[in-house]
Structure 1
Amino acid sequence: MNDVVDVILPCLNEAEALPWVLSRMPAGFTPIVVDNASTDDSAEIARGHGAVVVEAPQRGFGAACHTGLLAASADVVCFMDADASLDPRELPRVVAALETCGQGPGLVLGRRRPSGRGAWPLHARLGNAVLARSLNRRAGTALHDLGPMRAVRRARLLDLALADRRFGYPLEMVLKAAAASWAITEVDVTYRPRRGRSKVTGTVGGTVRAVRDMRRVLAEVTP
């Protein structure tokens, strides 16, 4: 496996969290912060901590993820949230699990294990569980979590031609990977209380929007 890994961090107003996240990036892991029209100093802070910063031309979580994927050049890429809920120091274990997928294409998801009060609000956890069950029925997978920390080979992921540019992007990734008979596995990762104001899982409205987008993808994508 190539020694360099690109880490794609979709970012919307994460100035408070970025210093902690970027200071904990392991050697050999290059952070690519994708600024999705932040109104704070996220981009400047990211550059100051040595990250590659790219601008997402389109608003939306999936748009930011895909912009980062196109900007990456490493054989292996990771995705993770930029809000300090996930520790970059766990990335090497997630990447190492790609080796267990064999010679064919693989996708590794970090299964979130909450640590600390408020790390994973009940409404968000329930929404995730419902979606995971629906996904498993549709795709024949056995996943517990649609984890936001992931590792995958860049060229293989581009071959899937993901189309969603909203919150359905992570689910579409798993659905299309399963349809293409990829090996999909999970690795436990610690999930901490985020820093700063949540745009998605920390609010009921954000969770509802994310679940709605994912249900749309479940209906549209045939595994």
Structure 2
Amino acid sequence: MKNPIIDILMPAYNEQNSVQQVIMEIPDVVRHILVVNNNSNDDTKTYAQQAGAMVIDEPQRGYGKACLSGIAHIATFNTAPDILVFLDADYSDYPAQLKDLIRPIIEDDYDLVIGSRAKGKRESGSMTLPQLFGNWLSTTLMKWIYKTNYSDLGPFRAIKWDRLQQLCMEDETFGWTIEMQIKAAKLGFKTTEVPVDYRQRIGISKISGTVKGVFGAGYKILWTIWRYR
């Protein structure tokens, strides 16, 4: 793949304190940065626009819902991207590592690349014990049931646009990342992981930062693993 068109999709809910910093550190190999303002009640939208991102509004809360809305919007572009990268707006990932993330697609024709926090360097406190346990349990269950070799459900990931369309993604909440990985395995996609570093996010996590979020995400992930078995 020579000179691919690369777009970024960034769901954002109340990330006014971090979204600009994330956008400013994205390498210039990217064509469009699309921020999906997921019913924020702060100035996330304004800050993202000021940093040069395209912004659309998705009033229905949910990580997966924001991703689905962003994908639908990108599908209206006159020219589709070759690669779509998913990146969180909380500054926990390192945007500069995007080049490492897309390299297996460009050089070795992989379909899906997961940024693995388990294989990278994690700042102390960047992942809570429930997150670490949930990742271990989820990837272990997928290995048993779907014969996969994932080490993480990391949200920093890249996928070929045409392959993404084949997945027919549906989940609107916490099951989005694992749905993608399970479906990719079932369809026989060429998938790999690259190590990515991880730091403490700016602000409080909407998932790991609340008891409701932890249990909600855990239940949805386990249900998704069982659903597609």
TM-score range, shorter chain: over 0.9
Matching residue of 2:94:
87
Query: In structure 2, how many angstroms separate the alpha carbons of the residues matched to 1:129 and 1:10?
Result: 25
Partner of 1:42: 44
Alignment partner of 1:60 is 2:65 = no
Match of 2:168 in 1: 161
Aligned-partner Cα distance in 1 for 2:59–2:39? 9
The answer to whether residue 148 in structure 2 is matched with residue 144 in structure 1 is no
The verdict on how the C-alpha distance between 1:183 and 1:3 changes in structure 2, with shifts beyond 3 A counting, is closer
Partner of 2:13: 12
Q: Give distance in 1, aligned partners of 2:208 and 2:161.
A: 27
Q: Does the Cα contact within 8 Å between 2:63 and 2:174 map onto a contact in 1?
A: yes
- The residue identity in structure 2 corresponding to 1:60 is G
Identical pairs, percent: 34
For 2:194 and 2:63, locate their aligned partners in 1 and report how far apart those are by CA, in whole Å. Answer: 23
Give 1:100 shift: 5.5
Q: Which runs of 5+ in 1 are unaligned?
A: none
Partner of 2:85 in structure 1?
78
Aligned partner letter, 1:31: I
Deviations 1:135-175 (A, max 9, x none): 11121111111111100011211111111111111111111
Between the two proteins, the alignment pairs up a number of residues equal to 220
Instruction: Spell out the pairing of 1:97-136 with structure 2 (5 A cutoff).
Output: 97-99=104-106, 101-102=108-109, 106-112=111-117, 113-136=120-143
Alignment equivalent of 1:185, drawn from 180, 192, 196: 192
Pairwise CA distance, 1:88: 0.9
Q: C-alpha separation between the residues in 2 aligned to 1:101 and 1:200?
A: 34
CA 1:203–1:125 in structure 2 vs 1: closer, same or farther (change >3 Å)?
Answer: farther
Distance 1:38-1:57 versus aligned 2 partners, 3 A rule:
closer
TM-score (norm 1): 0.93
SS in 1 for 2:127: coil
Cα deviation for residue 115 of structure 1 reads 3.1
Superposition RMSD in Å: 1.5
CA distance in 2, matches of 1:11, 1:125: 23
Alpha-carbon distance in structure 2 between the residues aligned to 1:59 and 1:186: 29
Residue equivalent to 2:35: 33
CA distance in 2 between partners of 1:43 and 1:175 (Å): 32
> How much does 1:118 deviate?
1.4
Structure-1 separation of matches of 2:89 and 2:38: 12
Partner AA of 1:39 in structure 2? N
The alpha carbon displacement at 1:117 in A equals 2.7
Task: Measure how far apart 1:101 and its partner are.
Answer: 4.9
Q: Which runs of 5+ in 2 are unaligned?
A: 75-79
Is the contact between residue 9 and residue 34 of structure 1 (CA under 8 Å) also seen in structure 2?
yes
User: Contact between 2:206 and 2:213, CA under 8 Å: does it hold in 1?
Assistant: yes
The residue identity in structure 2 corresponding to 1:70 is A
Cα distance between partner residues in 2 of 1:148 and 1:200: 13
Contact 1:101/1:184, CA 8 A, preserved across alignment: no
